[in-house]
Structure 1
Amino acid sequence: MDGVVQAWVTGWVVSRGAAPPEREPWGFTVDVGQLAQVSRHVFDALGDEVDERLVRKVADGVTGAGVWLKVFQDPEVVGDWLGEGWWVDPEPGCLMTVPLAGAAVGGTDVPDGYRKRVWSTGGVTRVLLAAPDGSLAARGQTAPTGATAVFDQIETASAHRRRGLGSVVMRTLQATAAAAGAETGVLAGTPAGRALYESLGWHVEAPLTSAKFMGRDAG
């Protein structure tokens, strides 16, 4: 999918309330404004198209703790490019897409005892599944930005997994995004969530490495 990284960045900043992305020669810089994530540099090349020289240059220019890199290549590869002070998530994430017109539909009813609530604020639609005791069972959100919609913060509490709740959340969000006019869904998935997304018609565009600068003397 052409422009998939830009689509993901554009929707992600809406979903998270981050600053509008700044275009860079190699991708995008996003100011997030949190202690654990001050900003992030997102490279727009995928897989073998990722330029080691550019990643090294950007990484070497980072001096403040709390800056992240998002590189669409395997962590075992990217980790060798980064110098002192970088923490690299050893688990490879993945950039995934789905054509919403052909995505799995139906199956949005919750099991007995659970409660579902859907609401939209500031261009973001959120789905909450509450357990019978009122605690969080599953959640997720989507930010449609025209022809694409980013799916974000999808999670199911450990005590409520393997009950189809993740599918309910995703199917509800997919239907909502399609109704808003989005044609393609985009997300950055974890290894734990990949099987769920693939079962709903999503496919992997590229692996994803997440790296955080901890400081030169991080120990």
Structure 2
Amino acid sequence: MTKIEPELIRRWVNGWTEARSLPEAEAIEPAGDGLRSECRQPGRDVQVFALRADEQPESVARLAAGVAAATRTTWLTVPTLRPVAVEAVVAAAGLELVFRSECFMTTDLTEHPKYGPAAPYEREVRTDGPVTVVSLHDASGELAARGTMAVVGAHAIADRIETDAAHRRRGLGRAMMSALAESAVSQGARTGLLIASEEGRRLYASLGWHHAADVLIAQGPVAPSIR
């Protein structure tokens, strides 16, 4: 593979915004180098996603320049098979790397392993339209783990897969991903997409998810407030 397909990135962005109940991302004109999302998170007002970093390297420079000139806190997410080259471009634009070891991963959901939570944990699955939220609770009812998956056509995008530190290494991540995959397949999804942290990719790889690209995330300089 010499590049990651823009449509795959676009599907991930659409699912990410759906999973987080955000407005649909908008194309960045006039060149259409990427997508822009109002992400409404503390320390991150806007997120920009590069669509053609490897196919058109100059597009990353244009996006990075726009992020560097932004007046609101803006992050730039770049899926790429050439992370060293991308890192040099974003650094030249004056951006600061927030994450350099994220990973874009895919899987065939129809072949996803099936795991249930071990006692005393119980699983709760709630589906609202295209979005499924799986929660795992301990015997006291305390939330131990939680994850979300949004279905976009034949793709399902996993997001915010989290296990409380006190409940880790008990198979909860496997049980949660199994439930999310099962729900997505029942809604017609066949391919799973996610962006994994360095820690999370070990879990996903053990469940059959495959590395499709590296992901670099950089932040633009924030102009000091005038008092």
Return the match for 1:37 from 21, 30, 44. 44
1:94-145 deviation line (CA, Å, top 9, x unaligned): 11111112222x212x221222111122431100111233332111010011
Question: 1:81 is matched by which residue type in structure 2?
Answer: V
Return the match for 1:80 from 88, 103, 110. 88
Structure 2: state its 5+ residue gaps: none
Q: Which whole-Å CA distance do the structure 1 matches of 2:56 and 2:205 have between them?
A: 25
Partner of 1:139, secondary structure, is strand
Q: Which whole-Å CA distance do the structure 2 matches of 1:107 and 1:201 have between them?
A: 13
Query: Which contiguous aligned blocks of 4+ residues in structure 1 show a shift greater than 6 angstroms?
Result: none
Alignment of structure 1 residues 155-174 onto 2, 5 Å: 155-174=162-181
Structure 1: state its 5+ residue gaps: none
* Alignment-derived partner of residue 185 in structure 1: 192
Q: TM-score, normalised by structure 1?
A: 0.88
Q: Which whole-Å CA distance do the structure 2 matches of 1:146 and 1:71 have between them?
A: 23
* Alignment-derived partner of residue 60 in structure 1: 65
- 42 and 90 in structure 1: CA distance in 2 versus 1, 3 angstrom threshold: closer
* Number of aligned residues: 214
1:116 and 1:129 in contact (8 A); partners too:
yes
Q: Which whole-Å CA distance do the structure 1 matches of 2:202 and 2:157 have between them?
A: 18
Quote how far apart the aligned CAs of 1:64 are. Answer: 1.9
Alignment of structure 1 residues 65-214 onto 2, 5 Å: 65-73=72-80, 76-82=84-90, 83=92, 86-104=95-113, 106-108=114-116, 110-214=117-221
Return the match for 2:10 from 6, 20, 27. 6
Between stretches 71-80 and 122-131, larger displacement belongs to 71-80
1:2-34 deviation line (CA, Å, top 9, x unaligned): 421011011111001111121232121122233
1:63-83 deviation line (CA, Å, top 9, x unaligned): 223211010136654332235
1:85 and 1:216 in contact (8 A); partners too:
no
Q: Which whole-Å CA distance do the structure 1 matches of 2:20 and 2:221 have between them?
A: 22
Partner of 1:92, secondary structure, is strand
Taking only aligned residues, the RMSD between alpha carbons, in angstroms, comes to 2.2
2:64 and 2:93 in contact (8 A); partners too:
no
